[in-house]
Amino acid sequence: MTEPLLLRLAARGERLTVGALPWVAPVYRAMPQVADVIEFPFAHGGLQFKARRGIARQMEGQFDAAYVLPNSLKSALLPFLASIPKRIGYLGEARIGLLTHRLKNPKNKPPMVAFYSALSGEAGFESDRPQLHIPDAHIDDSLASLGLTRGAYAVFAPGSEYGPAKRWPAAHYAELAIQLAMPVVLLGSGKEAGLCEEIASAAKNCLNLAGKTPLTQAIHVLAASKIIVSNDSGLMHVAAALGVPQVAIFGSSSPLHTPPLSDKAAVLWLKSDAAYQPPLDCSPCFERECPLGHTRCLNDISAAQVLAAMPL
């Protein structure tokens, strides 16, 4: 979702280095406008001041500007410690002294692509759409190593790092897989291997690659697939940026906020279904787990509905 911002910055002559955590760095390497990627060795949570200060010292004097994309204090700390002259970001978490150019956070949740693109200071970003570019030779190498044939399989991405309120039930994924007349490749992180194995055990046409491929290879598998079915997740956005046909299933989150920006994407969200009763007044709650304990927003989306939405 940050790709259109980077495209705008590169188009006006800025040479781009992206600082990213290792699990997302391969996505930025698939963006031609990015000249370099620095992998930050930060663990989740905690300020880790000593580590940030050490990296900041190495970066000092190398950059003219820093675009701070997350809204956290710690993300703004490193550019400040590196004495980067121009530091642009949104207000949040007492960052006034850390940023030199500050945008006010919108009162309502805007589409995230527009939210990031606004950091460029330019207008007309409402139509921005992410794009990723993978060389065919890299894709072919990955497929050969896994014994897969381009366009001959579907991908399911049943996980979501955020929590269960964004995950369509595993039993529904298995039911859908059984109805497909093609193999299904299950992608996800090591944390989602058990979830994917539950699906693979119920549907014998599934190949579980969750936790077995690096992200770069998973992106290659996704790029060569016939279609992907996923929750609102990172792989959903990667599929949209690759132009892969997809069905995106939303529960606790909103496609008005984080939609898959692709002409080949179909979105299922019961909140917007006038025929669904009783209405989901609780949606979107943006919670990790259903506060009401029923998760109707996902449980009540059937495999038949997803199958009907698939452009096969």
Tell me the domain boundaries of the chain. 3-127, 136-309
Q: How confident is the model at residue 301 (pLDDT cuts 50, 70, 90)?
A: very high
Residue 94, pLDDT score? 81
Q: What is the mean pLDDT of residues 23-44?
A: 92
Crossing angle (nearest 10°) for helices 136-146 and 215-223: 100
How far from 242 is each of 35, 212, 236, CA to CA, in Å? 20, 22, 10
Least confident among 88-92, 150-154, 221-225: 88-92
Q: Is 228 left (phi over 0), alpha (psi -120 to 50) or beta?
A: beta
What is this structure's pTM? 0.90
Q: How confident is the model at residue 124 (pLDDT cuts 50, 70, 90)?
A: confident
Q: Which CATH code for domain 136-309?
A: 3.40.50.2000
Eight-class DSSP state of 210: T
Fold held by 3-127: Rossmann fold (3.40.50)
The rounded distance, in Å, linking the Cα atoms of 132 and 53 is: 32
Q: Which residues pair with 268 in a beta bridge?
A: 249
Tens digits of residue pLDDT in 186-245: 999 999 999 999 999 999 999 999 999 999 999 999 999 999 999 999 999 999 999 999
Residue 45, pLDDT score? 75
* Cα 29 from chain centroid (whole Å): 15
pLDDT higher than threshold 90 for residue 108? no
pLDDT higher than threshold 80 for residue 67? yes
The rounded distance, in Å, linking the Cα atoms of 244 and 246 is: 6
Residue 125, pLDDT score? 84
Whether 3-127 and 136-309 share one fold: the answer is: yes
The answer to whether 75 and 87 are in contact (CB under 8 A) is no
* Cα 229 from chain centroid (whole Å): 14
The rounded distance, in Å, linking the Cα atoms of 142 and 218 is: 9
User: What rounded mean pLDDT belongs to the chain?
Assistant: 95
Residue 30, pLDDT score? 93
Residue 43, pLDDT score? 79
Tens digits of residue pLDDT in 256-294: 999 999 999 999 999 999 999 999 999 999 999 999 999
